[in-house]
Amino acid sequence: MRRTTRGCYRADNAGYALNNNPAITDALLSMAVDLTASLASHDRLTRLLEAVRTAVPCDAAAVLELRGDALVPLATHGLAPEVLGRRFARAEHPRLELVLSRRAPVRFPAATTLPDPYDGLLLVNPDATRDVHACLGCPLVAGEDVVGVLTVDALQPGAFDHLDDHFLRMLGALAGAALHTGRLIGALEGASRHHRQVADVLQRDAALRDGSQILGVSDAIARVRADIDVVAPSDFAALITGETGVGKELVARAIHERSRRAEQPLIYVNCAALPESIVESELFGHLRGAYTGATSERAGKFEIADGGTLFLDEIGELPISVQPKLLRALQQGEIQRVGSDKLLRVDVRVVAATNRDLAREVAEGRFRADLFHRLNMYPIRVPPLSERRLDVPLLAGFFLDLYRRRLGLGPVRLTDAARRALSAADWPGNVRELDHVLGRAVLRAAAGARGGPIVIGPAELQLEAATAPPAAPASAPPGPPGLPASLDGLSLRDAVEETKRALVLRALDESGGSWAEAARRLGMARGNLHHMATRLGLRR
């Protein structure tokens, strides 16, 4: 040992303290292990101080975080409780400022005239002020930045003289890394909580704005509500069937909101809108490089919905090649990312919907029987609007008020003739069609209003135009319906393109706008149809 110019003793060998003191080695190892441990911020700092006290026996210790021009105590040992409520400005505490500016461990000799920030605050001798004691400060360094200070105090003068600077720098670096890690984890947890809160608020706001209640007084809709009440508390898969526009998504949302998973996410997937080439990746995720275009790793919808509900809309359009993986996810709760041989466990409730007769699809070999039976654990049929005409006035009132609020209008009401027309209409598009008809009617009535209430009559509803199929032009020459009226003057290439465009549009019209059904009618893969439609200018 040799005496330094500062009146402190240190080992000639930089590794002396570490090699000859198992307690120091264990303390440093504990701090290093904690860097990778999943610990709350308070627990991480508490364990840090315990490790420091093991390596450096002392009467008091504190971890302070640098925030602007002040040091804020985060955890203390042996100091009065009020220390945690104080802020130590750098300009007011020269000892702390010296540690920060030197960026190296500092031992303060007993004869120093610099005021001690903890005078009178050591619990071991609370009545004394300006006790002569040993004081040590280590800057907490993370990368190139000083993020705080570790202070250690003891009533015995010279208690820290034997500590090696190399060890103290290691202590400061590990403690700084621990503090920095805690800050990062805290920031990530805060961002996660914020995003979750935003998502919850948006979901509640959307439910209040657009409505999530299943409205109606008819027996048909009462049976649907009863089915929801029965199946929602369970984890059974549910298969919602019904015509296009009856409100199958609303039923799925109601099942989720009444389930024990209501606080977890409800993830929506439209199976009909997914090109066959990416369906598996969308549902189960992929690894980087799993296929051309997979430039990064990505979680699938099953992973995102873990703990919550996954709503698979238009399940009848799911390619049969992907159905075995979906069946495994339902039966075993196991998924596998594209390009990976690792199985992942997920806890997901699946609710599916379709406007197809899946039993018929099974009989014709387009849908797996085992998957159908798994999804069909609890079937719910949503009736068309033609079977619940008693609900039309109630639904009309809801949609009128919805559009009144969206457009910032005054009172909106229907005439008696308009009410009779709404109740008598066929509504092949069901509730969705009623919604759109009333939205257009409010716009027309508002455009012609001159103040006062907005009154909607049969003229504003235009029900005949809304529900009648488009009539063919009177001058159209005989020939295959839906084809161009004339190809005269076109080159063979242009004539073929026009014919393709007409056939795609006709198939879409006959399929109610479903690209998957249009592809089936045209006898081609959905992905090929999407590419053709983009090239023909029919979609972007």
Span 88-116, pLDDT tens digits? 999 999 999 999 998 888 888 877 889 88
> Has this prediction a pTM greater than 0.75?
no
| Separation between Cα atoms, residue 272 and residue 288, nearest integer Å | 25
Same domain, 372 and 398: no
194 within a domain of the structure (yes/no): no
The predicted pLDDT at position 341 comes to 86
Same domain, 515 and 397: no
- pLDDT tens profile 436-446: 999 999 999 98
How many CB atoms are located within 10 Å of the residue 312 CB?
A: 25
The predicted pLDDT at position 327 comes to 95
The predicted pLDDT at position 178 comes to 72
The predicted pLDDT at position 439 comes to 93
Please provide the DSSP assignment of 475-515 as one string.
TPPSSSTTS-S--TT--HHHHHHHHHHHHHHHHHHHTTT-H
Out of 383, 412, 440, a domain closes at 383
Strands 70-77 and 88-89: antiparallel
479 within a domain of the structure (yes/no): no
Domain span at 144: 2-186
Write the CA distances from 176 to 62, 66, 79, integer angstroms.
13, 11, 21
Look up the CATH number of the domain holding residue 504. Answer: 1.10.10
The predicted pLDDT at position 63 comes to 87
The predicted pLDDT at position 25 comes to 61
Same domain, 379 and 426: no
487 within a domain of the structure (yes/no): no
Out of 356, 383, 410, a domain closes at 383
476 within a domain of the structure (yes/no): no
pLDDT-flagged residues of the chain (< 50)? 1-19, 128-129, 468-480
474 within a domain of the structure (yes/no): no
Same domain, 106 and 178: yes
198 within a domain of the structure (yes/no): no
Query: Domain count of the chain?
Result: 4
Same domain, 78 and 49: yes
Same domain, 504 and 438: no
Extract the tokens encoding 319: 């390619």
Extract the tokens encoding 416: 């008696």
| Separation between Cα atoms, residue 285 and residue 278, nearest integer Å | 10
540 within a domain of the structure (yes/no): no
